[in-house]
Structure 1
Amino acid sequence: MTILVTGGAGYVGSHMAYALVDRGEKVVVLDDLSTGHGELVPSAAKLVKGDIADRKLVSRLIADEGINAIAHFAGSIVVSDSVADPLTYYDNNTVKSRALIETAVAAKVEAFLFSSTAAVYGEPGADLLDEEQNLQPVSPYGWSKLMTEVMLRDSAAAYGLKYAALRYFNVAGADPAGRTGETREHATHLIEIAAQAATGRRNRMEVFGTDYPTPDGTCLRDYIHVTDLIDAHVKALMHLLNGGENFVANCGYGHGFSVLQVVDAIKRVSGVDFRVDMSDRRPGDPPALVADSARVREILGWEPKYDDLDTIVKHALAWEDQLVKGRVKL
C-alpha cells in the first residue's frame, strides 16, 4: 500500500510519515517546503517538492506510485494570521484542498484523510465539545477548514469518496524517539513557545489575555500529544481502507489546561524560571476548547498512551534541546 502524505515535511505530517514507514507502508510526501523541512521526512519515504493544487503533478504521482490513499496535512495554521490575511488562508486551505479532492476523485483514490481543527467550533460555550456542536468559526482559519470538511462530505455523497476528517485540539510534544518535532521559525503553539523560552531560543514569552471566563483568566485548551494524534490518524486510514464508514471526529483527551498551568509545567519540568509577560487578548481566540473524544474512541478503538502534561512537555523540551545543540540539522 502507498500513502501520499501532503505537508509531510511539517510538524504533524512528518510524524504521520514516520508512523506509516514504521508500519512498513510505502510513503510519498508532497510538500512545497514553504514552512516544512525536508530533513524531517523519513529517509525511507519519497519526498516530492510541489503544490497540492498542481493537478498534473498529483495525478502523475497517484498513477506512477500506485497511491491508494491521501493523508492531507498541507495548509496554513496560524489563527491570527488568518484574521489579518483571510484570502491567503482561503486559497491555501480551501481552494487548494478543492483541487486535491478533485484530483483524488478523478483518480479513484480509495481513501482521503483530512487534518481539520477544533477551530470549526468557534466560541461554543460548552464544557465538552462533541461533533454535533453548532459549527460557527470565529476566524478565517476555522472557516477555511470547515469549508474543506463540507467539500469532502458533498464529494462522498456525489462521487463515493471515502473520507475521514479529524478535528485536532491543541497538538503538542514531539516524537518520543526524537526523530521529528515542531520547527517553525516563528512558533505559534504555546508549548513550543514556552519550551523555546526554557531552552534559551527566545528571551521571553507572552500570555495573551488574562481576563477570560476561566478559573485563572487564561485560555483553556485540550493538549494532545502528537504521537497519540497520529495513532488516531493511522487507525482512521486503516478503518477507511478496510471498508469502514466515513466519519468526522474530535481528537483530544477530554480535559484541558490553562495557559498558566502549561507555563508552570514547562518551568517545573525544565527547571528554568523564564520571563513571562502578560498581554492583551488576540483576535479569534475562544476562552476554552476541550474535546468530547467518545466518537473517535468508539469508531477506532483509540486509546491514548501519552495523556500526561508533564510527558508532553518533556518530549517537547527534548526536541528543543536537540535544536539548540545542533543535533538536528535544518
Structure 2
Amino acid sequence: MQRVVTLILLLTLLLWLQPLAYAEDASVLLGKYGMATTDPEIEGEKLDLLEEEYRVVSYKVNTNTMLSSAYDLHDQYYASRLASMDSEIYALADELTSISVQMGDSKEEEVPYILELDSKYRAVSDQLDLRRQARNGWMESQKEAVEAPPLSQSTQDIVKLNAISDRLDKQKAKVQLARSYPDLGDISSFSSPLAIPVQMTSPFGMRLDPLTREAMTFHKGMDMSAPIGTHVLAAFNGYVEEASENSELGTYVIVNHGHGIQTLYGHLSSYRVVQGQTVKQYEQIAESGNSGSRTTGPHLHFGVFIGGQALDPGIIVPHS
C-alpha cells in the first residue's frame, strides 16, 4: 500500500513540474526567427553602470553649481567690502588735500594754528597709510578664496549629464521590455495547432496558385491536412483578437500572444471562442473545415505573424 501511495505522489509531482519545464517566454520564439531580443540580466547590468555614471556626473554638476553660487556670493561680498575700504581711503585723501590747502593759506597765521594743522595733517596721513596697508593686506588674503569652476567645463558636464539621462531612459525601457516578455508556454518542444500530427500540404512562401495554377503567389502560412471537425488548438497562451469570417479565409480565428506575436487559424468549420477571451496553449479554440474561397479541400491554414510580418510556421511546427 505504501508503494502505491509513493507512486501516486511521484506521478503527481511529475505532472505538477511538467508545465514548469516548458514555461518559455516570447523571447524564445523571437530567437527562433532570428529576431533581436533583450536579456533582463545583461540589460539590468547595463542599467546599473549607467545609473552609477549618472550619479558621478550629477554629483560633479551639483558640486560645480554650488561652487558657482558660493563664488557669486563671495564676489558680491568682495565688491562690497572693497568699495567700503576705498570710500574710507578716498575720504581720508580728500581730507588730507583739504588740510594741505589750509596749510598753504596759513603762512600769515599764528604759529599755534600752523602747528595744529601740521599735527592734524600727520594724523590723517597716518590713518590713510594704515587704511591703504589694510586694503593691500585684505586683497592679498583674497587670493586663496574660492574660485568658480571654468564655465566651459561646467557646460560640458551639464551636456554630458543630459546625454546620460537620455541613455538612462532608453536603457530603463529596454530593461522593462526584457522583463515583460509574455509567457507563451512550450516553444522549444512545440507540437501542433491540431489535435493530430501535422501533415503539411502546402508550405510557406512562393508557390503556383493552387486554384488558378497560372500565377505564382506568396503563401503567408502553412496548410495542414485536417479532416473536417478536427480540433484546432491555440498555439500559445494569449487572447482571442478576432473570431470571424471573410470571403477568402472563411471562418477564422486570430490569437494575440503579446509582444506583436499573432497566430492565424483559417478555413475553419466553426470556432469555440469569443473575441477578448483568454486562451491557454493547446486549448481547443475551433474545428477545422473547408470554408472560404481560397481552399481546395479540408485543411487548416496556420499563420504566424510578428509585428504584422508573416513568418514561416514550419520553423516551429514539426511536420512531415
Same fold (TM over 0.5): no
TMscore range, shorter length: under 0.3
Structure with bigger strand share is 2
TM-score by length of 1: 0.19
